[in-house]
Structure 1
Amino acid sequence: MSALALSGAIEAGLLFSLVALGVYLSFRVLSFPDLTVDGSFPLGAAATAVAIVHGINPFLATAIGTLSGCCAGFVSAYLNVRFKILNLLAGILTMVALYSINLRVMGRPNISLYGEETIFTPFAEILDFGLWTTSAVLLVIALAMKFFVDWFLGTQVGLALRASGENPVMARAQSVDNGRMTIVGMTLSNGLVGLAGALFAQSQGVADVSLGIGTIVTGLAALIIGETLFGSIKVAWATFGCLIGAVLYRLFIAAALSAGFLGIQAQDLNLVTAIVVAVAVILSQARRNSRFKLWPRLRRLFPQPQPQKG
């Protein structure tokens, strides 16, 4: 694998680690199977690209893209909470609607950002990392979002959010508004995805209406790989696994496409993606099963001393 391919894979992995963090909030914390991300990712890219092309500061444009993702998540959650639409269906409806909205926002299928100033432009002038300048900036942003999610889930609202996703009945008994927690969690989740889309458009120099295809698969793959390596019990380790899982996932894809002896070509990307996700799920289940099987064996090997009578 060339240095250019390696830097590109790491850069893409850091970008999609934000998607993985968003998927972690919706799938793991809220137990909300959310397909909105396939629409909120290109929405963040589209809103940011249009803002930059119209002369808005790139940092403010990135914030606009992030808020656009938040709005998409809010709509999905509101459809579920207010109108009692099945969560999966609510996400699908929003995702389908966002395809047309993204076309409306951009006015055409894609927008080029080549030659435009992005948030990476000032860092390219300050840092002298060559191919790794964008990756270094994305690493700082990904770590900042990871620590933000860790902090948020440790606050009173975050604990209520986790309780609502883990056991809604118990949370309701503790005066937690499950509907409100769903809206908060989904808004934050898709805000992270919108941020990823905004950064993706600026790093790749283009925003396209088809960017969101397969975004949910990538986020889930990164999440599952991270859980396989680091577990999912502690929040800090789970969010760290999202970052590592996303980078490893993109490295696997890049390595597979670069291995000429395997005969894999660019059109085989979806096949490679499906295989990587399937292997990650199998390893995750094997890890979980072996954990439960190992404990009884350890107890038999190291029996607890029985209290003496009398």
Structure 2
Amino acid sequence: MYIALELGFLYAVMALGVYLTYRVLDFPDLTVDGSFTTGAATCAMMIVGGLPVPVAMAGGVVAGMLAGAITGALHVWGRINPLLAGILTQIALYSINLRIMGNKANVPLLRETTAFTWLKDHSLMRSWVSVAILAGVALIVAALLYWFLGTSYGVALRATGDNELMARSQGINTGASKIVGLMISNGIVGLCGTLVVQHQGFADISMGIGIIVAGLASVIVGQAIFGMTAVWQAILAVVAGSVIYRVVIQLALGAEWFTANDMKLISAVLVVLALVLPQWGPLKRLRIKRRREKAVAEGVS
């Protein structure tokens, strides 16, 4: 169970980046599958090259931001459909990532000093200590994202996602907002890649394939269970959704009738359930009832 919690908090960082584009900007960004690997590959190669871990992680974040900037530029300046812009960047990043990794499909970090070396040396991996540290990292990123969305520029991003025409009429440069939002989102995804590559001890060219599904699942599961009426609630729901998603997968893989090959199937089924169950009659009526009770309570107070 420790490994599920560790992965849940690790990938919560990536899910927060997906939340920024999927929910805040209302931009279906598929760059994530590529920018995740870009951040991981850049960090791995910089660590192998002898650079300090913080510098390598910063390099991974910048690489992710550049990937997001390319998608944003294709959409805003090239007038390319958001989905297609993300797909084009994702495809290009596969070759770019291979070049970053020295035309190798795998770069090991087993003999290198990483952010997790101290925990591994003291046999604290897969324990409550490592879980608590990773939970702290996820909450710090969540707090920074919440702070950013409360700034004037963050509000402009939210306005762009809510109603682009209205935002433009208020003098907001929606094109620049989209590009900046995509850069921040993929920078966060790149940060997650730098953490995951150090956690697992190697960078692999295919490590980002399907990662967008995990991010969307975390956002959707969190929304279905906890709701997203306020920004802080939405952000915490994404973190909780990521943990729940990983725990459910771990439990499913622990059952005798599932194997590691079924992980993608389990992920897809989990997302479908998270999308369908909130629309189920009894749950929908219960949610409406609670909303009315809350409105009455607020009116009385």
TM-score scaled by structure 2? 0.92
Distance 2:291 2:18 in 1: 34
Offset at residue 47 of structure 1 (A): 0.3
Match of 2:269 in 1: 275
**Equivalent pairs, count:** 294
Cα distance in structure 2, aligned partners of 1:179 and 1:146: 25
Q: CA deviation at 1:229?
A: 1.7
Task: Tell me which amino acid in the other structure corresponds to 1:106.
Answer: M
The Cα shift of 1:179 comes to: 0.4
In the TM superposition, what whole-angstrom CA distance separates every residue of 1:184-208 from its partner, at most 9, and x where no partner exists?
A: 1100000110011110000000100
The answer for the alignment partner of 1:98 in structure 2 is 93
Residue of structure 2 aligned with 1:173, choices 154, 169, 173 = 169
Tell me whether 28-37 or 282-291 shows the greater mean CA deviation. 282-291
CA contact (8 A) 1:134 1:203 kept: no
| Bigger CA radius of gyration | 1
Structure 2 residue aligned with 1:16: 11
Pairwise CA distance, 1:16? 1.1
- How far is the alpha carbon of 1:169 from its aligned partner? 1.2
SS in 2 for 1:255: helix
Moved more, 271-280 or 187-196: 271-280
Find 2:80's aligned residue among 72, 80, 85.
Answer: 85
% identity of equivalent residues: 45
245-254 or 114-123, which deviates more: 114-123
CA RMSD, Structure 1 to Structure 2 (Å): 2.3
The counterpart of 1:255, out of the listed 239, 251, 258, is 251
Q: Is the 8 A contact 1:10 1:135 kept in 2?
A: yes
Question: Relative to 1, partners in 2 of residues 1:130 and 1:207: Cα closer, same or farther, differing over 3 Å?
Answer: closer
Deviates more, 1:203-212 or 1:281-290: 281-290
Q: Distance in 1 between matches of 2:139 and 2:162?
A: 26
Distance in structure 1 (CA, Å) of the matches to 2:283 and 2:70: 35
Offset, 1:223 = 0.4
Following TM superposition, by how much is the alpha carbon of 1:50 offset from its aligned partner in structure 2, in angstroms? 0.3
Residue 224 of structure 1 contacts residue 284 of structure 1 at CA under 8 Å; is this kept in 2?
Answer: no
Partner of 1:68: 63
The structural deviation recorded for 1:124 is 5.3
1:292 offset after TM fit, Å?
A: 7.1
Report how far residue 60 of structure 1 moved: 0.9
Distance 1:220 1:49 in 2: 26
Cα 1:94/1:197, change in 2 over 3 Å: same
Q: Aligned partner of 2:233: which letter?
A: W
- Counterpart CA distance in 2 for 1:51 and 1:97 is 21
SS at match of 2:91: helix
- Taking a change above 3 Å as real, the CA distance of residues 221 and 267 of structure 1, as seen in their structure-2 partners, is same
Is residue 2:260 matched to residue 1:266? yes
Deviations 1:151-201 (A, max 9, x none): 000000000110011011111111101001101110000011001111000
Distance (Å, rounded) in 2 between the aligned partners of 1:230 and 1:296:
13
Match 1:184 to one of 173, 177, 180: 180
Q: The residue matched to 1:131 in structure 2 has which SS?
A: coil
**1:276-307: CA deviation from partner (whole Å, max 9, x where unpaired):** 11111112334984367538987xx9xx9xxx
Structure-1 separation of matches of 2:266 and 2:287: 31
Q: C-alpha distance in 1, partners of 2:210/2:99?
A: 21
Question: Which ranges in structure 2 are unaligned for 5 or more consecutive residues?
Answer: none
Alignment-mate amino acid for residue 253 of structure 1? I
Q: Distance in 1 between matches of 2:6 and 2:290?
A: 40
Tell me the residue number matched to 1:137. Answer: 133
1:1-310 alignment, distance < 5 Å: 6-107=1-102, 108-122=104-118, 129-132=124-127, 133-260=129-256, 263-286=257-280, 289-290=284-285, 293-294=288-289
**What is the alpha-carbon distance in structure 2 between the residues aligned to residue 189 and residue 13 of structure 1?**
18
Separation in 2, partners of 1:25, 1:122: 32
CA shift, 1:122, in A, is: 3.9
Any idea what SS the aligned residue of 1:219 has? helix
Q: 1:233 to 1:293 in 2, by over 3 A?
A: closer
